[in-house]
Structure 1
Amino acid sequence: MAISKSKPATEKKAASSSKTTEIPTITLKQIGADLAILHDLPKKTVESLFDDMVELVGKHLKKGSKIRISGLGIFQVKKRASRQGRNPATGEAMKIKASKTVGFKIARDLKESL
């Protein structure tokens, strides 16, 4: 996809902070603003779409589904078993409860491009 419109906001911010070594954090709102510029859409519409997307991704992850986003990767819920751990302050042994977390596996094409 060729970008022929004005520079997106995230590129402008990244260019101005090139003097520092800090890695910029790009938010979903900033990506939405860039997409709004690239596709001549209102920012509120794109933000609303992203809000709905995040809500649906969370809903499907809670059900245990895998979320595959082409070109990006796969999100899926992973289970962690209970285990023994240590309190770092006292060194006392303690039991860590079983839990769930979201794992992400990067798409091959994206990984190779990094």
Structure 2
Amino acid sequence: MATKPMTKTQLVAALAEKMDTDKKSAGAALDAICELITTEVSGGGAVTLPGIGKIACRERPERMVRNPATGEQFKKDADKVVKMTIAKALKDSVNG
């Protein structure tokens, strides 16, 4: 089950086939979707992809972390992290 992930080229080719169009317009559509998602999430919003999941930016508080090499503990500043919550429909389709 350790297969390689689909590359962008393979994704564009599959998308072009599904859309019954050429690879250039399928690639442009994929790039536009990625740009929209990036803009929305980096602005603090969230994007829901129906049947796939929700991509959102969450804030993490200031916390204590440990350097595993030295064991030294230090305080890490608050930051933001992108999280994706997978839709139940996708989970169910994967689990059969």
TM-score interval, normalised by the smaller of the two chains: 0.7 to 0.9
Q: Share of identical aligned residues, percent?
A: 34
Structure ranking higher on relative contact order (CA contacts 8 Å, 6+ apart): 2
Question: Which is higher, the Rg of structure 1 or of structure 2?
Answer: 1
**Helix, strand or coil at the partner of 1:51:** helix
The answer to whether structure 1 residue 65 and structure 2 residue 45 are counterparts is: yes
**Separation (CA, whole Å) in 2 of partners of 1:72 and 1:92:** 40
**Separation (CA, whole Å) in 1 of partners of 2:53 and 2:36:** 17
Q: Which runs of 5+ in 1 are unaligned?
A: 1-20
Q: Which runs of 5+ in 2 are unaligned?
A: none
Contact kept in structure 2, 1:28 and 1:50, CA below 8 Å: no
- Count of residues in Structure 1 that have an aligned counterpart in Structure 2: 94
Partner of 1:100: 80
4+ runs deviating over 3 angstroms: none
Q: Which has the higher strand share?
A: 2
The answer to whether structure 1 residue 41 and structure 2 residue 21 are counterparts is: yes
TM-score by length of 1: 0.75
